[in-house]
Structure 1
Amino acid sequence: MSITGYGRRRVLGVAAAGLATASLGACGLFDDEPAPPAPPDPLQPLLDEAVALAAAYDRAILFQPGLAARLTPLADDHRTHVAELARLIGATPPSAGPSASAATGAPAETIATLRTAEQAAQKSAVAACQAAPAERAALVGSIAACRATHAEALR
């Protein structure tokens, strides 16, 4: 026993416990900071675009019921894309219904606006397909092809 009243074993035990606590703290076990969020999936913009396209068709059908027979199958395609992309990236499929703020116009204007949106969406789908890994390229490529078909169907 030393003059301070602590034995060598006790001092060594306290020192070892301190080192163990310090090493656990260094490994992050006791950190209060949450882990950084995972980056968004590269296909998230494609999913968001599919949601927006489906909503655009729904708005058009709501305000132009005479176009429903022509536009409903196209809107359904986009809802299928939403479901498949959400499944692929592990996201909850978002839903977007037609908004009350949708502008109304002549049927020809509505069709032209949807065609322009389809053309822009097809370009972004092609870019996403080119950047996608092989296991995702087939789905993304089929979405790009579908959007191109929609643009032609809206001529």
Structure 2
Amino acid sequence: MNAGPGYTRRRLLGMTAGAAVAASAPAGCGLFDRDPEPARPDPLQPVLDEALRLAATYDRAALSQPDLAKRLTPLAADHRAHAAALATLIGATLPSAAPSASADTGAAPTLDALRKAEQQAQRTAAAACRQTDADRAALLGSIAACRAAHAEALR
């Protein structure tokens, strides 16, 4: 059976099917493409965040307890150095300005509270050290050791 001059039913059905596929192609674009997975934060990001928090905590304590400033300021500087090294390692950008140390955050942390924060931070860094590759472990080991030394210095 002819569907018209020079067209067979098979050819006409093939053209119709081809036109249907071509028409639906724009709607199906990406049908087999996978959405890119959202970027996962670097596993060292919590250690970086903790270093920034500790530096800010020391700054607040030094401002609210000036008699301790000479003792606490170098410890805050260590945490800022850790944050800078971690940011470089993971390709993160540090905040352009440190949060205001004079922000009203309640009572200033005591030496005991600072020591406990350092002990927790040391555990965080040590755990990250055990879970990372050798290139990162050296830095994390140094940070964990420094945090342990800070805890002892606060006794």
TM range (shorter): 0.7 to 0.9
Cα distance in 1, alignment partners of residues 43 and 105 from structure 2:
30
Among all aligned residue pairs of Structure 1 and Structure 2, give the percentage whose two residues are the same amino acid.
57
Compare 7-16 and 42-51 and name the one that shifted more. Answer: 7-16
Compare 126-135 and 15-24 and name the one that shifted more. Answer: 15-24
Compare 1-10 and 143-152 and name the one that shifted more. Answer: 1-10
In the alignment, structure 2 segments of 5+ residues that lack a partner are: none
Match of 2:64 in 1: 63
Partners of 1:122 and 1:148 within 8 A in 2: yes
Per-residue CA deviations over 1:27-68 (Å, capped at 9, x if unaligned) read: 43xx9xx63311221111111111110011011011011111
Cα distance in 2, alignment partners of residues 6 and 139 from structure 1:
75
Cα distance in 1, alignment partners of residues 145 and 105 from structure 2:
30
* Corresponding letter in the other structure for 1:113: A
Per-residue CA deviations over 1:2-29 (Å, capped at 9, x if unaligned) read: 529989599286467458657753343x
- If the length of structure 2 is used for normalisation, what is the TM-score? 0.78
State how many pairs are aligned.
147
Match of 1:112 in 2: 112
Match of 1:154 in 2: 154
- Matching of residue 96 in structure 1 with residue 104 in structure 2: no
Which entry has the higher C-alpha Rg, 1 or 2?
A: 2
* Corresponding letter in the other structure for 2:117: A
Cα distance in 2, alignment partners of residues 133 and 49 from structure 1:
20
* Corresponding letter in the other structure for 2:50: E
Cα distance in 1, alignment partners of residues 5 and 150 from structure 2:
87
Cα distance in 2, alignment partners of residues 38 and 135 from structure 1:
22
* Corresponding letter in the other structure for 1:68: A
Distance 1:89 1:2, change over 3 A: same
In the alignment, structure 1 segments of 5+ residues that lack a partner are: none
